């Protein structure tokens, strides 16, 4: 009742769903339907953080644990054509599930660059240390979601891959000059 009152009074811009909001497919579909009915907007922003790998909010619905961005980055680096084909297939299948549920925004891709020093919590969530891999797969990701009428939110922030600290637990400090960051980390986020 308090959440319904909050929606009626303030109408937030959108809602992001987390694992704690998701019991099963039917429960989630009903929840999203009720939110859209309450907001009187069939296009109301319903976000999810479904990266695959370790970050899977839909784990009660699908097993997405294997399919991290690093997984697809590794395949791409062995054979780019096969890597792109498999990645598009994966995204199309995931989009079919998201569309059937009523989710219209996924917070992907992760565009942080992998370094030897990248904190463990981020290592499997990024495509690669190679710029070509990051740029190619991120464009495939965004365009494939767009074709499926699902928006994306790129993340996290240029330089995040250089962090030794887990940014969920402490404030990371990056000691690289702006020239290095522009040629490397910022480039990952440009023209996607």
pLDDT at residue 72, rounded to an integer: 98
C-beta separation of 4 from 38 below 8 A: yes
38-49 average pLDDT score = 96
Comparing C-alpha atoms, which of 161, 155, 163, 143 is closest to residue 189? 155
Does the structure show a pLDDT above 90 at 36?
yes
Please report which confidence band the pLDDT of residue 17 belongs to, taking 50, 70 and 90 as the band edges: very high
Distance CA(100)–CA(94), nearest Å, equals 10
Does the structure show a pLDDT above 90 at 42?
yes
Distance CA(183)–CA(128), nearest Å, equals 16
Q: What is the pTM of this model?
A: 0.94
* Number of CB atoms found within 10 A of residue 65's CB: 13
Whole-number percent of the chain with pLDDT over 90 = 92
* CB-based contacts of 57, cutoff 8 Å, min separation 6: 17, 18, 19, 21, 22, 48, 49, 50
Whole-number percent of the chain with pLDDT over 70 = 100
Q: What is the pLDDT of the chain when averaged over all its residues?
A: 96
The string of pLDDT tens digits covering residues 156-183 is 999 999 998 889 899 999 999 999 999 9
Does the structure show a pLDDT above 90 at 10?
yes
pLDDT at residue 138, rounded to an integer: 98
pLDDT at residue 192, rounded to an integer: 78
Please report which confidence band the pLDDT of residue 191 belongs to, taking 50, 70 and 90 as the band edges: confident
Distance CA(7)–CA(55), nearest Å, equals 27
**Residue whose entry in the numeric block shows the structure tokens 């990701």:** 141
* Number of CB atoms found within 10 A of residue 134's CB: 27
Distance CA(144)–CA(125), nearest Å, equals 19
Please report which confidence band the pLDDT of residue 99 belongs to, taking 50, 70 and 90 as the band edges: very high
Distance CA(8)–CA(39), nearest Å, equals 8
Does the structure show a pLDDT above 90 at 14?
yes
22-26 average pLDDT score = 97
């Amino acid at each position: 009742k308090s959440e319904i009152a909050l929606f009626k009074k303030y109408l937030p811009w959108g809602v992001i769903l987390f694992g704690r909001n998701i019991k099963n497919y039917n429960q989630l579909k009903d929840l999203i339907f009720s939110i859209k009915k309450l907001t009187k907007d069939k296009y109301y922003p319903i976000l999810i953080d479904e990266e695959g790998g370790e970050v899977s909010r839909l784990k009660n619905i699908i097993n997405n644990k294997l399919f991290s961005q690093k997984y697809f980055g590794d395949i791409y680096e062995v054979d780019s054509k096969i890597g792109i084909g498999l990645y598009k297939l994966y995204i199309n299948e995931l989009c079919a599930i998201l569309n059937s549920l009523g989710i219209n925004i996924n917070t992907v891709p992760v565009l942080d660059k992998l370094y030897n020093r990248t904190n463990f919590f981020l290592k499997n969530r990024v495509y690669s240390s190679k710029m070509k891999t990051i740029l190619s797969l991120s464009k495939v990701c965004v365009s494939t979601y767009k074709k499926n009428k699902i928006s994306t939110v790129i993340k996290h922030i240029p330089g995040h891959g250089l962090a030794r600290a887990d940014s969920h637990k402490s404030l990371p400090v990056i000691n690289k000059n702006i020239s290095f960051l522009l040629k490397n980390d910022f480039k990952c986020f440009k023209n996607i």
